[in-house]
Chains A and B, each alone.
Chain A
Amino acid sequence: MKQTMNFKLNGKQVSVAINGDESLLTVLRDYLDETGTKYSCGLGQCGACTVILNNQTAQSCMTYVDQFENADIITIEGLSNNNELHPIQEAFVAHDALQCGYCTPGMIMNAYGLLLKNPNPSREEIISGMEGNLCRCGSYNRIVDAIESASEKIFKQQ
């Protein structure tokens, strides 16, 4: 029996009919066609599916209805403002902090969550805050550089 549930996605209210045991990742990708958030491990071990849920990072593959119903969710699609890139996205482009790009949305959302909590992290804090996100192409050092420069920019603006 399907139930309708609501949450806020990238600033807009959405209603979705679900069975009740789907992960947020399935709801986003397969029910709402928001495919920027990626599947990779399904066990919360890689960070590819990271989104922001009520201002906290969440692994959407391990997030279920009791956590996301009525929540405020931001995904990679909601980060840029119209065509203007978010400073973290800009920094990823400037530092070429990506290769195949598949882990990139999760990396950027985790960085976004990290900077929400700690707008001016040290390099060590960035590394420990990002540790759970895996990149097989090996762009880690560039990603840390990008987050460092984005945080400087965001911190100055504040």
Chain B
Amino acid sequence: MEADKINQLYFSDVNQPIRYDRRKFLKQLGRGIIVIFSLSELSLLEGWSQPTNAQDQEIDFNAYLRVKEDGRVDCYTGKIEMGQGIITSLAQALAEELEVTLDQVDMVMGDTKLCPYDAGTWGSLTTRFADPVIRAAAAEAREILIEIASEKLAEPIENLEAANGSVYVKGNPSRKIDYAALTKGKKIVRSLTKKPELKKAEDFKIIGKSYNSTDAEVKVTGKAKYSADIKLPGMVYASVVRPRIFGSKKIAVDATALSNFNGAKLIEDGDLVAVIHREPEVAAKAAQSIKITWDTPESKADNESIFKYFEDTVTQSSVFEEGGDLEIGIQNSEKILQADYHDGYKAHASIETHCATCYFENDKLTIWASTQTPFGTQKELAETFKMPLENVYVKQIFLGGGFGGKIYNLQAVEAAKIAKISGKPVQLVWTRREEFMYDRFRPASLLKITSGVDTIGKLNLWKFDIYCAGTRGTKLFYNAPNNLTRHFNKNDAHPFGTGAWRAPGNNTTTFARESHIDATAHTIGQNPLEFRLNNLKDENMIAVLKLAADTFGYNSPKIEGHGYGIALGEDAGTLVAIIAEVKVDKATGEVHPIKIVCAQDMGQVVNPHGATVQTEGGITMGLGYALYEEIEFDGGLVKTRTFGNYPFTTFSKTPKITCVFMDKMNSAPQGGGEPAIICVGGAIANAVFDACGARVNRMPITPKRVLAAMPL
């Protein structure tokens, strides 16, 4: 493959971005109309943009678009596409305001030279924060085009309107000029400093309409390039020698057997020991021949004792929310219910493992890395090699799933170190076994809840102690006047790496809260739907719950052995209600999901089809953590290393899923990638209880745990 060709490997079949230094980009960018914009200038999110550098104002922006001389539009954003569909929905936002069709928009994403800085694609932030600015920039570009058309057509601006990639004279549609003719020979750079007039929902032609993914065709033909699909001239494959136990330190390396592998070379850099070879399987076999003596840390807990370990050792807490007086809450309650909930460690288990392909050329590093944070990876690599930021180029690439796991990029650092030492282009693809050890797991958690309720079913008391799961989404939306929510955490509480896992912490805390709300309703013999409706604070949440219950047919009769379960939650600005129907086999304890309805208030829904796909996906993935997924370990010895002992949702386990959205087209859009998943655990747990009377307080809700909790 020619070096020049390699540099064109972006979403090569989706668009063809130009390769330039980012600082010089605007200067060197071809003609057309360019609108640059900064999120911070629009005060949409403090601290979101790159800090302003007085010498270099032009890089202080978050995205830009360019109407090219052929009338097509490039949209440059630091966000990445990993299956969540923003390659489509961001283009919709742009097309709507600029009055072009969706297929006229080319998205250029997450490339550190071509795209402006972005903190990373996580937290369901894209639609909430990138969407409004892209719309604003597109609206600005539209106004510029109308201004130019006004000169060309010798008509005042107020007589003109933009539609279908052209500017028309109102009432005389034959007098028009298209965008290509307006931009030809011109180069206009504007920065967006004020909020331009945006369209109202009733005028939307593209936002709010359903579009299929614009990148589907390259993905069904195998043309879509992922980081390990890049093959460089002279490239070697790297295989890292790993310890059995996480956190081990290298004492001695015995590489005498390496001579059996012709062409294999040892790479050592501190605790990193790797073998490179032109053939991947030789590299892997040669790596296995290396014997390393490790200093291994002692185990402090395993997957069963970890909860007690948290309770004994994680003693520092901070108050997240409090109100009223817990003593008064106890006095005013007829029934007090105390319970502990547990959730084990979960892997991201993206189908693509972490991988990176890279090369050094004159102290400049170019890398394709499976990362959710291209700019974070760029910074990490620049710091690793003590080189200027602009010497590291992280290239735009598709990701084979992320779910928070690809915020962390150890594989990129490893690949780049090996490339630096060996002087060769390198590809490093983590094996599934490596992925299961170095993936940053969703942390295990212990949750202790005490609730109090009076005889008419009013919550008076809510005490929630959360260990290690964070407080995202735990602001109490039930009306419990005497409440306290505390978070207990300690940095070194876990025997291996932990990190963000789709809606971090919120799956765990929502499971505990919604299980406990259900159990509290049952202590006074109330229907869990009615109990929730009576105790919810927020009208919007009540509306979402009612929508879910109506769509589900909550009051419809149940089949023997089936149960219904509700869970509510809030994540990334979106309100979620899920109702699940399960069948429980009382002899085996097996849980079969039958039907799931999810209602959401996510504000403006940019692409209802895309939002539906995300919701279905989140629920399908969520069934995994609820019913099957758990990492088995003893200290740093991770025993779960293959898909064979980490089952998650499969074809046959996926129920019918129905998604409904509140109609809020004039509101701001909210998160879509994460919210739905948070309610799956709680809804399933409550449905299991409804089906067979087993209150399982620990996820995953395995057959064994169901049988153990089954009433006699």
Contact = CB atoms under 8 A, between A and B. Distances in A.
Contact of B213 (A42, A96, A102): A96
Contacts of B671: none
A45 B646 CA distance: 11
B147 interface: no
B642 A105 contact: no
B96 interface: no
B654 A22 contact: no
A36 interface: yes
Interface in B492-533: none
A140 B642 contact: no
B650 A134 contact: yes
Contact of B220 (A22, A40, A104, A131): A104
Interface stretch (B198-206, B337-345, B396-404, B475-483): B396-404
B11 to A, nearest CB: 11
B220 to A, nearest CB: 4
Given A19-B282, A35-B229, A141-B654, A102 B401 contact: yes
Interface stretch (A52-60, A65-73, A74-82): A74-82
B223 interface: yes
A100 B616 CA distance: 14
B473 interface: no
B83 A134 contact: no
B644 A43 contact: yes
A17 B467 CA distance: 56
Nearest to A140: B654
Contact of B83 (A19, A39, A137): A137
B380 interface: no
A30 B237 contact: yes
B431 A42 contact: yes
A99 B613 contact: yes
A23 to B, nearest CB: 7
A5 to B, nearest CB: 15
A96 B224 CA distance: 15
Nearest to B211: A96
Contacts of B650: 131, 134, 140
B642 A45 contact: yes
Interface residues of B, number: 62
B221 to A, nearest CB: 6
Nearest to A99: B83
B231 interface: yes
B644 A103 contact: no
Contacts of A80: 221
Given A140-B649, A140-B651, A102 B620 contact: no
A25 to B, nearest CB: 10
Given A30-B231, A37-B222, A101-B224, A142 B613 contact: yes
B621 A101 contact: no
Contacts of A100: 82-83, 350-352, 398-402
B83 A128 contact: no
Given A30-B279, A142-B616, A144-B651, A41 B216 contact: no
B85 interface: yes
A141 B351 contact: no
Interface string B398-415: 111111000000000000
Interface in B205-236: 212-213, 215-226, 228-229, 231
Contacts of B237: 30
Contacts of A76: 220-222
B219 A101 contact: yes
Nearest to B217: A93
B175 interface: no
B616 A131 contact: no
A96 B651 contact: no
A41 to B, nearest CB: 5
A79 B221 CA distance: 8
Nearest to A96: B212
A144 B213 CA distance: 18
A9 B401 CA distance: 29
Interface string B416-450: 00000000000001011000000000000000000
Contacts of A94: 212
A138 B281 CA distance: 31
Nearest to B610: A96
Interface string A81-97: 00001000100111010
A38 B351 contact: yes
Contacts of A19: 279, 281-282
A124 to B, nearest CB: 9
A58 to B, nearest CB: 16
A48 interface: yes
B652 A127 contact: yes
Nearest to B212: A96
Q: Which among B84, B231, B348, B352 has the greatest number of chain A C-beta atoms within 10 A?
A: B352
B656 interface: yes
A115 interface: no
Given A43-B643, A85-B221, A102 B352 contact: yes
Given A102-B352, A102-B401, A108 B651 contact: no
A135 B621 CA distance: 9
B651 A130 contact: yes
A43 B642 contact: yes
A9 to B, nearest CB: 13
**Most chain B beta carbons < 10 A, residue from A30, A102, A127:** A102
A118 to B, nearest CB: 16
A47 to B, nearest CB: 9
Contact of B642 (A41, A77, A101, A133): A41
Contacts of A141: 616, 620, 654, 656-657
Nearest to B216: A93
Interface in A113-158: 127-128, 130-131, 133-144
Contacts of B281: 19, 21-23, 26
B222 A36 contact: yes
B651 A99 contact: no
A139 B649 CA distance: 11
Interface in B135-156: none
Contacts of B222: 35-37, 75-77, 105
Contacts of A38: 226, 351-352, 400
B618 A136 contact: no
Contacts of A142: 613, 616
Q: Which 3 A-B pairs have the closest CB atoms?
A: A36-B222, A138-B620, A102-B400
Given A42-B432, A100-B82, 5 more contacts: A93-B217, A96-B216, A96-B613, A103-B400, A137-B617
6 contacts: A30-B279, A35-B225, A98-B83, A105-B220, A139-B620, A141-B616
